[in-house]
Every structure is written in C-alpha cells, then in structure tokens.
Amino acid sequence: MLRQIHLAGETVNYRIKRSGRKSVGLRICHQGLQVNAPHDLTNAQIDAVVLGKTGWILEKLAIWRNKLSRDPVEGFLPGTAVFPLLGDLWKPGIAVNGQLCMVPAGSAEKKLPDQYLSSEVFRKWMIDWYRQRALACFSERLTLYADRLNLPYPPFKLSHAKTRWGSCSSSGVIRLNVRLVQLPLPLVDYVVAHELCHLFEMNHSGAFWKRVATIYPDYQHARRELRNY
C-alpha cells in the first residue's frame, strides 16, 4: 500500500507492508521508504510512527539519493556493495568461466574480496556495465514510445547530469541520464515519454501534459514517485 506524508516540509511517499510482527520497522531501499507494520495497526498510527522518525528518515533518504550520484558506482561500501538496476538490486559475482558478472543481490554467490571491489578496475567495469544496460534499455523504450507518437527513432545520447533525468534540445536530441537505469522501469518509461513529447511541445503547457497522457496515462503518479529519487 502506497501512502504520502509531509516530513519537515518534504513530501515523502512510503509503502506499508503488513505482517504478523509486533512492532513497526522502517527501512530505506531502492523504492524509497518502506514501513513494515503489524496487521492491527491503523494507517493513522503508522503515520504517527513515521512522523516521529522524521530526522532519521530524511537523513537516510539523503544518503540513498547520494548513492545515485554522477558516478553510479560511487558511495557503495566494499564487501556490502549492491547496485540497483531497473528497481532490482544486484551484486558482483564470478561466472562459471571465472569472469566478473552481476547476480541478484539475494543469491548465494561467493562474495568478492574487498580489495577487488575497491579497485579502479572494478569501478570502471561497473560504470561500463551500467552504460551498456542503459543504452539497451533506453533504446528499447525510445523505440516503443516513439512508435506510439508516430515518430521516427530520435537522436539519443547518454547524459551524466547531476540533477536532470532527461532533456530534449531544440534540435531534437534526447539525452537520458545513465543513472535513470537504476530506477524502476515505469519511471524510466515516464522520463522517456516526457522527453519525446517535448519534440512536439518545448514547454510544460497544458497541451504538453495532454500529449504525455496519451502515451503514459499514469504520468502524475510517476512524477510523484520520481521525487523520491
């Protein structure tokens, strides 16, 4: 269940996961704030607990967002490194042929030595891993949404901007931030649809949002979700 709350002037979306536990637990993950709560606790009671943890929540959210930095590998601790890709968490492992690979974070693959994870070789490998997956994902989604707008495949480049997920130039070149591939696919789709619609409207007028809605009807929810990153 998704809820929204205001903490020290900041709007925070959070998910409630109910179980047989007796107390409320809070955690920050790739989807933002998750609250694990007992079945018999009301939403109002959960909100009160969340409000009481305002400082902790905002601090941890800031740390998580900083992980999605200009360098997508920066900020991860050796030996505990997990890397988000399209909303799922992955970790480095060793393939059967002895080559470095990425495996689901929950798998039982043998952990790589800390000295390897902290090396420049690994950092460069991870940056390339993200780049290749971003190119493949963005190319696929651009093709899908351009077709829905009856557009040809647009000129496209990867971006490393600090604050923008995407942009569309007056010459029709779309740039998508490589860090976007870390987020869940619905948010990738929203950014792609948003930038493609700028090929028709280089503004955020009513006509622009109307066009966005024709190919991504749930854009308002996606915009709110994107603020958590």
Torsion of CA 153, 157, 160, 164, to 10 degrees: -40
The pLDDT tens digits for 40-71 are 999 999 999 999 999 888 877 776 665 554 45
Pairing of strands 156-159, 2-7: unpaired
Shared domain for 117 and 151, answered yes or no, is: no
Q: Which positions ≥6 away from 210 have C-beta within 8 Å?
A: none
Q: Would you say residue 116 has pLDDT above 70?
A: no
Shared domain for 174 and 142, answered yes or no, is: yes
Shared domain for 158 and 220, answered yes or no, is: yes
Q: What is the pLDDT of residue 89?
A: 80
Q: What average pLDDT does the segment 125-147 reach?
A: 94
Distance CA 110, CA 102 (A): 12
Q: Say if 73 falls within a structural domain.
A: no
Q: What is the pLDDT of residue 225?
A: 85
Shared domain for 155 and 216, answered yes or no, is: yes
Q: Say if 74 falls within a structural domain.
A: no
Which tokens go with 134? 């971003």
Shared domain for 170 and 213, answered yes or no, is: yes
Kindly indicate the confidence band of residue 74, based on its pLDDT and cuts at 50, 70 and 90.
low
Question: With DSSP H G I counted as helix, E B as strand and the rest as coil, what are the percentages for the chain, rounded to 5?
Answer: 40, 25, 35
The pLDDT tens digits for 155-198 are 999 998 877 899 999 899 999 999 999 999 999 999 999 999 99
Number of domains within the chain: 3
Q: How far is CA 172 from CA 59, 161, 200, in A?
A: 39, 18, 10
The boundaries of the domain holding residue 221 are 134-226
Whether the model clears a pTM of 0.75, i.e. scores above it, the answer is: no
* Range in 33-47, 58-72, 102-116 the model is least confident about: 58-72
Q: Say if 99 falls within a structural domain.
A: yes
